[in-house]
Amino acid sequence: MLSIRNLSKTYANGVKALVDVSLDIPNGMFGLLGPNGAGKSSLMRTIATLQEPDQGSIHFGGLDVLKEKDALRRQLGYLPQDFGVYPKVTALDLLDHFATLKGLTVRKERKETVEALLRQVNLWEARHQKLGTFSGGMRQRFGIAQALIGDPKLLIVDEPTAGLDPEERNRFLNLLAEIGEQVVVILSTHIVEDVTDLCQRMAVISKGRLLFTGEPGEALEAMQNRVWRRRVAKAELAEHQARHMVLSTRLVGGQPEIHVYSETQPEAGFEAVTPGLEDVYFLQLRRAVA
């Protein structure tokens, strides 16, 4: 269990990146949703001991993370949003180098670990390929391989599927799901679909504040019969946004289709729809600025 209490962080430029954030994150996949600039990366960096909070505490099991940083790092795997590689080095050589840095100094043990990780992330056939030739998805899978060195008990992945094509994204998320059966995995993303099928629990964060935490299924159940859909003329869109809590707007066949949150049918022409996690996400964001 990762336990976060009253965590706050304000940067030197006055930006409040985290505001009194408290979270309990159990074993399994945990989705951290929020728009760009919401504070997700700040929270991830703080948990990973890469920056100090202004106040608050973090405990992992019986470990005081902020006081025992080295002990936490020995149990941590981290894939940041911007993960750089040496383009002219092969996957096998660089992963072997990372394993050495992580403390695997016995050659036989290191060789077995590196080979097992490359097979686990489905990069064994590309082990002699230079990393500069890897696709985005292959690079992300290599990033997970390096994060898994040392058998971490806590794995943090920050915006891991941004820019991946659908096939690579599915492959990557399936890999995370397998890993999440054994350890705490925090998936930080602004892509709602990444969380929908994978995460047993989730949280929504915006402007450094925690807006929601709970199980996706419970959040969806609470919105049953309260999400309504209608296609409207473009000229009427602003009027609907003024009258109703519009969760989202998308063009369907060139015409705006809106999702509205309401206890009852907003007006004639609206039909009830089964809510999705995207509706949950947008409801929390709309309530935060209401």
Q: Say yes or no: 90 and 169 in one domain.
A: yes
Q: Say yes or no: 269 and 174 in one domain.
A: no
What separation in angstroms does the CA of 90 have from each of 29, 106, 142? Answer: 30, 21, 11
* Predicted confidence (pLDDT) at residue 158 exceeds the cutoff of 90: no
Q: Are 223 and 279 in contact (CB under 8 A)?
A: yes
Q: Say yes or no: 150 and 248 in one domain.
A: no
Q: Say yes or no: 81 and 61 in one domain.
A: yes
CATH code, domain carrying 12? 3.40.50.300
Q: Say yes or no: 216 and 100 in one domain.
A: yes
Domain that holds residue 55: 2-220
pLDDT at residue 61 in the model? 87
From 177, 193, 220, the end of a domain falls on 220
Give 221-238 pLDDT, tens digit per residue: 999 999 999 999 999 999
Q: Say yes or no: 203 and 238 in one domain.
A: no
For residues 24 and 229, what is the distance between their CA atoms, to the nearest angstrom? 35
Q: Say yes or no: 15 and 67 in one domain.
A: yes
- For the segment 84-107, the average pLDDT, to the nearest whole number, is 91
pLDDT at residue 290 in the model? 62
Give the chain's domain count.
2
Q: Say yes or no: 210 and 246 in one domain.
A: no
Q: Is residue 283 part of a domain?
A: no
Q: Say yes or no: 75 and 170 in one domain.
A: yes
From 177, 205, 220, the end of a domain falls on 220
For residues 151 and 77, what is the distance between their CA atoms, to the nearest angstrom? 8
Q: Say yes or no: 196 and 149 in one domain.
A: yes
pLDDT at residue 163 in the model? 77
pLDDT at residue 149 in the model? 92
Q: Say yes or no: 96 and 216 in one domain.
A: yes
Q: Is residue 280 part of a domain?
A: no
Residue 180, amino acid: G
Q: Are 214 and 190 in contact (CB under 8 A)?
A: no
Give 30-59 pLDDT, tens digit per residue: 999 988 888 998 999 999 999 999 999 999
Q: Say yes or no: 62 and 203 in one domain.
A: yes
% of the chain with per-residue pLDDT over 90: 66
Backbone angles phi, psi at 229, to 5 degrees: -125, 145
Average pLDDT score over the chain:
91
